[in-house]
Chain A
């Protein structure tokens, strides 16, 4: 059964960086990609990035102005999302989800991690 397990909640100071991990199991990791989505408290869903599971192809939300980096480690079947220059507006739940392995093969987000709460404080 495909599953994504995310790292524990984080509390960070404004201006710091956070790194969230997402470990995959139960499916061929390199056959898909990992997409990152976040949700501010009481708000909707926001797509923030994607990375292929078998190439270095990736995309990230341009509105984040280069503050986000998505990476993968195929040896451990783990994806990572790093967000730098944290502000209060970055507080929320960060989800990883199984997505397309290639930008040429659209694939809906069919498996989701449990979410990682990121709290940015002063």
Chain B
């Protein structure tokens, strides 16, 4: 299986900040990397697919980049609604593994 290592596991930030979450794959998966946002008690929601493509309806302050084995999710101008847990997932090879998650909390 491809291992996905996400960092940091917890991130403290303030409204208006710019934050970056990193995801590393144990082998090349490019470009099949997605990012999800999950709030307590809710199903995950797709933010970014194919490394950098914004899912319909997702605000443009979210962006994704990367290639090969290293990928990032960047959130500009943090808004109150953005405090949640974020997961990366590779969908290059079965099983489609997830990162362990990054909890974005209010500083």
Q: Quick one: which of B81-105 are within 8 Å of A by CB?
A: 87, 89, 91-92, 94-101
Q: Quick one: which of A67-120 are within 8 Å of B by CB?
A: 95, 99-100, 103, 106-110, 112-115
From DSSP, what is the main secondary structure of chain B's interface residues? loop
Residue from A44, A62, A103, A115 having most chain B Cβ neighbours under 10 A? A44
Instruction: Please name all residues of chain A whose beta carbon is closer than 8 Å to the beta carbon of B36 when the two chains form the complex.
Output: 45, 109
A109 and B34 within 8 A (CB): yes
Count of B residues near A, CB < 8 Å? 23
A59 and B46 within 8 A (CB): no
A46 and B98 within 8 A (CB): yes
How does the 8 Å CB contact mask read for A48-64 relative to B, with 1 for contact and 0 for none? 10100000000101100
A45 and B101 within 8 A (CB): yes
B residues with CB within 8 A of A: 32, 34, 36, 38, 43-46, 49-50, 55, 87, 89, 91-92, 94-101
A residues with CB within 8 A of B: 35, 37, 44-48, 50, 59, 61-62, 95, 99-100, 103, 106-110, 112-115
